[in-house]
Structure 1
Amino acid sequence: MARKPGSSPQAIRNRAAKTAAVMASPSASALAPPKKRTSLAQFAREVRSEARKITWTTRRETWITSVMVAIMVVVAMVFFWLVDAGVSLSINQILKLASGG
């Protein structure tokens, strides 16, 4: 049976050494200098600029999504009710058989 390429003991040792070297080196975030603290005003400006990027759903989109959620809740409710009824019926039949009638 032929060996897979790279499965020799030397290749395995080389890969293990590379992995250990990567694991031992500090990450880039640990080497980065600490971030400069921003002022409260700068923070407020950044928050405001990010808030402007928010896109709100329309009334119609919200209504459609709410109806879809309600339909899925009803479908899930019926599914779990049927499964529960089936399991309950099965267990009752098994217990009747076990008790002798």
Structure 2
Amino acid sequence: MARKPGSSPQAMKSRAAKTAAAIAPASALAQSAPAKKRTSPAQFLREVRAEARKVTWTSRKETWITTVMVGIMVVLAALFFLAVDFVLGLGINLLLKLANGG
């Protein structure tokens, strides 16, 4: 039976060395990362305010439409699970009646 190309021990060692070389710089870089500088509470609050200004709030109309859509989906899901539960209950009752002999 012929061996697959690249399955010799030397080829496997070569691939392992290449993989180790590719991984090594990433781990060395992670170990030498500088420690984060602590920010003052005032700087933190300035950054929070800057980020809060970027927030876009939905309008009252968009909120109302979304609320109504969620309500409709809840009702539809409840009806679906009610129907599935009813059908499965009928099937199990029929199966149990057959198992008991009628």
> What fraction of aligned residue pairs are identical, expressed as a percent?
61
- Structure 2 residue identity aligned to 1:95: L
Instruction: Give the corresponding residue for 1:65.
Output: 66
**Deviation of the 1:74 alpha carbon:** 0.4
* 1:8-56 superposed Cα distances (whole Å, 9 cap, x missing partner): 2155544443334416851644422011111111111000000000000
1:44-89 Cα distance to aligned partner (Å, 9 max, x none): 1000000000000000000010011001000100000000000000
Q: Which runs of structure 2 are paired with 1:12-91 in the superposition (5 Å)?
A: 12-21=12-21, 22=23, 25-26=26-27, 28-91=29-92
CA distance in structure 1 between the aligned counterparts of 2:24 and 2:89, rounded to whole angstroms: 54
Give me the CA root mean square deviation.
2.4
The amino acid across from 2:36 in the alignment is K
Equivalent-residue separation in structure 2 for 1:8 and 1:18 (angstroms):
14
Give TM-score scaled by structure 1 length. Answer: 0.81
Structure 2, gaps ≥5 residues long:
none
The two structures have a TM-score, normalised by structure 2, of: 0.80
